[in-house]
């Protein structure tokens, strides 16, 4: 079925307005030809989510790895010195698992909600 602009405006005025507007545009940065892989990669739950220092620590296996994460995040200015000090104290006194259970491989894919 084919429509000209005027017919589209008469039948679907809100859609025509939205299509003609520059608002609500979404940039497409990549294309997947395998729809199954694309659906698996897409997740609503973690959309626009930026992992924090605790997320990175929860991927660590050892206290040494966690300490390196804290040092790196502090050095880069991602966390403040006082917060880094608090994290190091918790790490030393309670261990790496005190920050939460280990986040396994593909955590965000497995625990995200698929886009519909």
Question: Mind listing the pLDDT tens digit for each residue in 17-70?
Answer: 888 877 766 665 555 555 565 555 554 555 556 778 988 898 899 999 999 999
CA distances from 99 to 49, 66, 77, 89, 112 (A): 19, 10, 21, 12, 20
How confident is the model at residue 115, as a pLDDT? 47
State which residues form the domain around 49. 1-116
How many domains does the chain fold into?
1
Angle at which helix 63-75 crosses helix 81-94, to 10 degrees, equals 180
């Amino acid at each position: 079925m084919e429509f000209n602009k005027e017919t589209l405006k008469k039948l679907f005025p809100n859609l025509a307005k939205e299509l003609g507007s520059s608002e609500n545009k979404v940039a497409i940065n990549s294309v997947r030809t395998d729809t199954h892989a694309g659906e698996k990669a897409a997740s609503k739950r973690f959309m626009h989510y930026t992992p924090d220092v605790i997320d990175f620590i929860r991927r660590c296996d050892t206290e040494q790895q966690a300490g390196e994460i804290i040092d790196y995040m502090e050095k880069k200015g991602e966390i403040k010195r006082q917060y880094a000090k608090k994290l190091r104290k918790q790490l030393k006194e309670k261990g790496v698992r005190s920050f939460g259970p280990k986040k396994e491989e593909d955590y965000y894919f497995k625990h995200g909600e698929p886009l519909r």
